[in-house]
């Protein structure tokens, strides 16, 4: 960017009205798009998946990025949220008469996942690193097989016919809510504690950080996010089964997190958006359309062996992509950096160099 442009950009980012403005505009758009059909239904659906994936990535980043652990359980917590909310809207809450009850179901999904997160955290945080990864993987498998064995929730067949209650405004609302909560958590003593744990757990303890509590809180909040996303997901797809929440689902979320960058909320939003759009482009029909200009000699065998089986190939490509990103780009796009709008004013001013006032009183003293 050229310098004047850069400066104008900086000026824009400094404005107090920017974030509220974007929020209001976003909310208005989320209502207007479906109302006036500004985008076709397919694009609307992709947008909703983007929102749900943002919730998933931002919340997982708390554990895998900010805390530096490697949890594989996210799809499991998502399943808990999805099943809880789906059962509530189908069997308990009269959502047909009162659609306004939907957020209650979503919240319940989030809380159920959070509660289970607390339970899983107990054994998980007795260990670190590889062992934690194994325990969370085991948990993911347990959730799946428990659901498969409960006939009341459809067993392996899952639950069809869930009401399509997830709408663009609701996705927008929940994405903003979860991002806001995670951001607030990150910029508090607990969030700094989580970062300290990633750096050096013993040193954190010796700087008075209650590392166990901090880890529990992070894990619980992270599970809450997964539960909320699961609830929205169930009422968008309108069908859930244990197979939907397998390790491949976790892998998807992991890629979003590591691609976007660890310990960065902005990064996760970026990662989730890029990855969701990329996956849409990589659907067999789209790829076939994109490559249809190739001569038939090349296209036909390619189509026969690869494009038409892209669904299966995903199981190979995605884990491979995850490994490659983690090995060669461990920090991702925005690793350990943050979009400035997310950083509280106090934090930004306190970090300013050479400011002996330490950013006293809302920057009035040093507006340049």
Partner 1 sequence: MALLTATDVRHYFGGLCALAGFNLALEEGELMGLIGPNGAGKTTVFNLITGVYRASSGSIRFKDTELVGKTPHQITALRIGRTFQNIRLFRDLSVLDNVRIAHYARARYTPIEALLHLGRYRGEERRIVDDSRRLLSIFKLERLAGETAKNLPYGMQRRLEIARALAIGPELLLLDEPAAGMNPNEIDQLMDFIQWIRREFRLTILLIEHQMKLVMGICERIQVLDFGETLIEGPPEAIRSDPRVLEAYLGEAPVA
Question: How many whole angstroms separate alpha carbon 87 and alpha carbon 75?
Answer: 18
Q: Count Cβ atoms below 10 Å from residue 123 Cβ, excluding itself.
A: 14
Contact 70, 222 (CB under 8 A): no
Give the number of residues in contact with partner 1, rule: CB under 8 A: 39
Question: Closest Cα partner for 67 from 29, 121, 30?
Answer: 121
- Contact residues for 105 (Cβ-Cβ < 8 A; gap 6+): 84, 85, 88, 89, 93, 95, 165, 231
Neighbours of 111 (CB within 10 A): 17
Contact call for residues 73 and 136 (beta carbons, < 8 A) = yes
Residue 3 makes contact with partner 1 by CB under 8 A: no
Q: Does residue 155 touch partner 1 according to CB under 8 A?
A: no
200 contributes a contact to partner 1 by CB under 8 A:
yes
Residue with tokens 């920017």: 18
Query: Is 206 a binder of partner 1 (CB under 8 A)?
Result: yes
Give the x/- contact pattern for partner 1 in 323-362, rule: CB under 8 A. Answer: -------------x-------x-x---xxxxxxx-xxx--
DSSP state, 163? Answer: -
Is the Cβ of residue 8 or residue 345 nearer to partner 1 in the bound state? 345
Rounded-to-integer distance, Cα 234 and Cα 245, Å: 11
Does 196 interact with partner 1 (rule: CB under 8 A)? yes
- Among 2, 151, 208, 364, the residue binding partner 1 under the rule CB under 8 A is 208
Q: Is 207 in the site for partner 1 (CB under 8 A)?
A: yes
- C-beta of 35 vs 200, nearer to partner 1: 200
- Residue from 204, 241, 273, 276 touching partner 1 (CB under 8 A): that is 204
8-state DSSP, 342: G
Cβ distance to partner 1 smaller for residue 54 or 217: 217
CB of 363 to partner 1, least distance (A): 13
Residue 131 CA to residue 124 CA, distance in Å, equals 8
Does 134 help bind partner 1 (rule: CB under 8 A)?
no
End-to-end CA distance of the chain: 21
Binding segment (CB under 8 A) for partner 1, from list 17-25, 58-66, 96-104, 205-213:
205-213
SS3 state of residue 165: coil
Closest CA to 277 of 26, 59, 50: 50
Q: Which stretch binds partner 1 (CB under 8 A): 116-124, 199-207, 245-253, 301-309?
A: 199-207
In three-state secondary structure terms, 240 is: strand
Give 101's contacts (C-beta < 8 A, 6+ positions apart): 89, 93, 94, 95
CB of 306 to partner 1, least distance (A): 41
The CB-of-226 to partner 1 minimum distance in angstroms stands at 16
Q: Does 190 bind partner 1 (CB under 8 A)?
A: yes
CB–CB of 245/143 below 8 Å? yes
Q: Does 4 bind partner 1 (CB under 8 A)?
A: no
Here's the x/- map for partner 1, 156-185, by CB under 8 A: it reads as: -------------------------x--xx
Selected range binding partner 1 among 3-11, 109-117, 157-165, 190-198, rule: CB under 8 A: 190-198
Nearest CA among 250, 222, 253 for reference residue 144: 250
* Residue from the set 1, 100, 202, 297 that interacts with partner 1 by CB under 8 A: 202
The answer to whether residue 121 forms part of the interface with partner 1 (CB under 8 A) is no
Beta carbon nearer to partner 1, 181 or 318: 181
Instruction: Provide the binding-site residues for partner 1, judged by CB under 8 A.
Output: 181, 184-185, 187-193, 195-196, 199-200, 202-211, 217, 221, 336, 344, 346, 350-356, 358-360
């Amino acid at each position: 960017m050229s310098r004047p442009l850069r400066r104008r950009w900086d000026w824009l980012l400094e404005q107090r009205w920017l974030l509220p403005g974007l929020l209001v505009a976003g909310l208005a758009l989320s209502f207007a798009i479906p109302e006036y059909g500004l985008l076709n239904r397919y694009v609307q659906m992709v947008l909703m998946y983007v929102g749900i994936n943002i919730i998933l990535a931002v919340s997982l980043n708390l554990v895998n990025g900010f805390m530096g652990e490697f949890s594989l359980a996210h799809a499991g917590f998502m399943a808990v949220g999805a099943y809880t909310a789906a059962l509530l809207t189908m069997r308990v809450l009269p959502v047909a008469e009162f659609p306004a009850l939907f957020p209650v179901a979503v919240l319940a999904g989030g809380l159920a996942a959070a509660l289970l997160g607390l339970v899983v955290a107990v054994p998980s945080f007795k260990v670190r690193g590889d062992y934690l990864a194994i325990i969370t993987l085991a948990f993911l498998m347990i959730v799946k097989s428990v659901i498969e064995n409960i006939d009341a929730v459809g067993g392996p067949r899952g639950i069809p016919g869930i009401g399509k209650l997830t709408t663009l405004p609701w996705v927008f609302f929940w994405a903003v809510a979860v991002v806001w909560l995670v951001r607030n958590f990150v910029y508090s003593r607990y969030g700094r504690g989580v970062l300290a744990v990633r750096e050096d757990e013993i040193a954190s303890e010796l700087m008075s950080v209650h590392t166990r509590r901090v880890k529990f809180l992070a894990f619980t909040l992270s599970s809450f996010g997964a539960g909320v996303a699961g609830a929205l997901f169930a009422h968008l797809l309108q069908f859930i089964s244990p197979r939907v929440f397998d390790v491949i689902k976790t892998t998807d979320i992991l890629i979003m997190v590591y691609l976007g960058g660890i310990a960065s909320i902005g990064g996760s939003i970026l990662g989730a958006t890029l990855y969701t759009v990329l996956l849409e482009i990589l659907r067999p029909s789209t790829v076939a359309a994109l490559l249809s200009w190739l001569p038939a000699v090349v296209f036909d065998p390619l189509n026969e062996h690869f494009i038409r089986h892209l669904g299966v190939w995903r199981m190979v490509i995605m884990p491979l992509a995850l490994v490659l990103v983690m090995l060669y780009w461990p920090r991702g796009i925005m690793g350990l950096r943050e979009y400035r709008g997310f950083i509280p004013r106090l934090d930004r001013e306190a970090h300013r160099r050479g400011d002996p006032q330490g950013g006293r009183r809302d920057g009035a003293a040093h507006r340049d």
